[in-house]
Amino acid sequence: MVIGMALRCPIVSVLGHVDHGKTSLLDRIRKTRVTKREAGGITQHIGASEIPTDTIKRISKDLLGMLKADLTIPGILVIDTPGHEAFTSLRKRGGALADIAILVVDINEGFKPQTVEAVNILKQNRTPFIVAANKLDLIPGWNSVEGPFVLNFNEKKQHPNALTEFEIKLYENVIKPLNELGFEADLFTRVKDITKTVSIVPVSAVTGEGIPDLLVMLAGLAQKFLEQNLKLDVEGPAKGTVLEVKEERGLGKTIDAIIYDGVAKQGHYLVVGNPTGVVVSRIKALLKPKPLDEMRDPRDKFKPVKEVAAASGLKISAPDLDTVIAGSPLRIVPKNKIEEAKKEIMEE
Ligand code: GTP
Ligand code: NA
Ligand code: MG
């Protein structure tokens, strides 16, 4: 008997070299302006936001036929990571959380040190990924417009020179370096088996070209992933990782976390690592960011909830969090599972 079994929302990490457009692409999808408010235009933390399936369906409506199945996932949780070289540990953490990933590459600049680093993180974790070949609008002569790339990629819409330029950049800057790192890769329209060949989706975060194609390919890969992995049981105690420890007015120290497995319940106990051991604390409140809001820069207030199923961003309010630091593993468990959880945390 399967009670309460539900498809877990897959975690999609966004990785790539600094300024290749990771946050801008997410801003475009979410209609947010997170990039504008980042100090120096540089992402310095791991971000998280939920993209509901309805949003994917709305943006990609003309292309859903490309998927040979119905879209059954409840949505995706996207994890934004910093591309600056100083943040290797955050990229590793973001990469380790991922079920699947989007590697963002500026199609004009091509592979850079942190692009290679990102690919190696994905390789190590055996994380399937697609490539967003961004800044398509900057290809000389390219006529970039909002909407599906597949409708804009032909002789009627593009000058022959622009098409040639595109093919050269696609090959030299994206396909070839991927081949050199051991991956088969091609333009997504030419890929026959997405589990064998890395799909490259040309996009522009500025014009919005290719965003429908990117989301459809992502949904397709997410669904393939979930079919092949039976880690779908969102029944057990929640497992997660601390993104940030934050002081909140009226709440004191709180934890911003990503829950990657199980269900978090209010009134249960938070068991979380700190530099000297484990902290156990009774949860006062669970607060969930609104769909399409970036957790680290939300438009709306977080909403108090009784329980949250993976995968999700989550703010946790509980006493005694002063010694907890970013990156620590956490569990949310009923009283009788505290000892077991402590042991797990010590071993992580
Ligand atoms: P980090 O998180 O700091 O690694 O950077 P990022 O990869 O998130 O890049 P970000 O979104 O901060 O974008 C960097 C710059 O590139 C910004 O000035 C964006 O406006 C610009 N940019 C992003 N995408 C595009 C695009 O498709 N076309 C053009 N022309 N500019 C873009
Ligand atoms: Na940036
Ligand atoms: Mg960024």
Q: Which of 28, 29, 35 to mutate to test the pocket of ligand 1 (most atoms within 8 A of CB)?
A: 35
Mean pLDDT of 84-94: 95
Ligand nearest to the CA of 207: 1
pLDDT category at 4 given cuts 50, 70, 90 is very low
Confidence of residue 115 (pLDDT cuts 50, 70, 90): very high
Q: Which of the 8 DSSP states describes residue 292?
A: T
List binding-site positions: 16-23, 80-84, 134-137
pLDDT of residue 3: 42
* pLDDT tens-place string over residues 129-157: 999 999 999 999 999 999 999 999 999 99
The band of 61, judged by pLDDT with boundaries at 50, 70 and 90, is very high
Per-position b or e across 83-107, b if 16+ CB within 10 A of its CB: bbeebeebbbbbbebbbbbbbbbbb
Q: Which residues are 274's β-sheet partners?
A: 277
Predicted local distance difference test score (pLDDT) of residue 348? 84
Which pair of tokens denotes residue 343? 């042991």
What gap in Å lies between CA 231 and CA 298, rounded to an integer? 29
**CB of residue 157 inside a 6 A radius of ligand 1:** no
Residue 106 predicted with pLDDT over 80: yes
- The CA distance from 199 to 178, in Å, is 11
> How distant, in Å, are the alpha carbons of 39, 142, 311, 317 from that of 4?
43, 50, 15, 26
- pLDDT tens digits for 233-251? 567 899 999 999 999 999 9
Mutation probe of ligand 1 site: the residue of 18, 19, 33, 34 with most atoms within 8 A of C-beta: 19
Q: Across the chain, what does the average pLDDT equal?
A: 94
| 327 CB burial (10 A radius; 0-12, 13-18, 19+) | middle
Say which amino acid occupies 70. Answer: D
